Structure 1
Amino acid sequence: MIWELDFALLLFMICCAIAAITVRDLLHATIILAAYSLIMTVLWAEMNAVDVAFTEAAVGAGITTVLFIAAISRTRRSSSD
């Protein structure tokens, strides 16, 4: 494995995790978590765990993101903060 790429992906994952818990908009948090899941997919594929990478891409970045966005679209904003 290329350690520079691993380190860059690790830093990006940490930034995504911090951004997902600090952002106030749910849609932005969902998109950031989808990016986090895609980076996890790249890491699993780099570690030669292709079956886990496909599952992470399908479930983590695909289905979960779509379900989160569908749930967010059905909610109303009650405050203007």
Structure 2
Amino acid sequence: MSALLTVFDLLLTLTLLGLALVTVTSREPRRAVILFIAFGLLLALVWARLRAPDLALAEAAIGAGLSGALMLAAARRASGRKTSPAEESDTEDAP
């Protein structure tokens, strides 16, 4: 049983590292936020494996839930802006 848990912990660690790398290198804000939420949920599982249920619940609720929802809203607002600041100044000068 101990060997199986060791393999699970190793797989969880590698998945977390891979997910963190993909999240940081993502070019699309919405995709990065969704990957961040998945990272937070897996991190909550890590805290649970480390027998820290208070941290696991806090990570799931605040880290993945609340922060993820706020970042999704921010990414949605940011993607709504189609023009760059330079284009906005050009349109203001036009008659």
**TM-score for the superposition, normalised by structure 1:** 0.90
Q: Deviation of residue 3 (structure 1)?
A: 1.0
**Structure 2 match to 1:8:** 11
Q: Deviation of residue 46 (structure 1)?
A: 1.1
**Structure 2 match to 1:53:** 56
Q: Deviation of residue 78 (structure 1)?
A: 4.0
Give 3-state SS (helix, strand or coil) of 2:51's partner: coil
Higher RCO (CA-CA < 8 Å; seq separation 6+): 1
**Structure 1 match to 2:45:** 42
Which residue of 10, 24, 31 corresponds with 2:27?
A: 24
**TM-score for the superposition, normalised by structure 2:** 0.77
Q: Deviation of residue 45 (structure 1)?
A: 0.6
Supply the distance in 1 between the matched residues of 2:29 and 2:83 (Cα, whole angstroms). Answer: 13
Supply the distance in 1 between the matched residues of 2:15 and 2:41 (Cα, whole angstroms). Answer: 11
CA gap 1:78/1:7 in 2 versus in 1, 3 angstroms: farther
Tell me which structure has the larger Cα radius of gyration.
2
Aligned residues with identical type, % of pairs: 34
Bigger helix fraction:
2
Tell me the C-alpha RMSD between the 2 structures: 1.4
Identify unmatched segments of 5+ residues in structure 2: 85-95
Q: Deviation of residue 77 (structure 1)?
A: 4.1
Per-residue Cα deviation, 1:40-63 (whole angstroms, up to 9, x for no partner): 100111111001100000001100
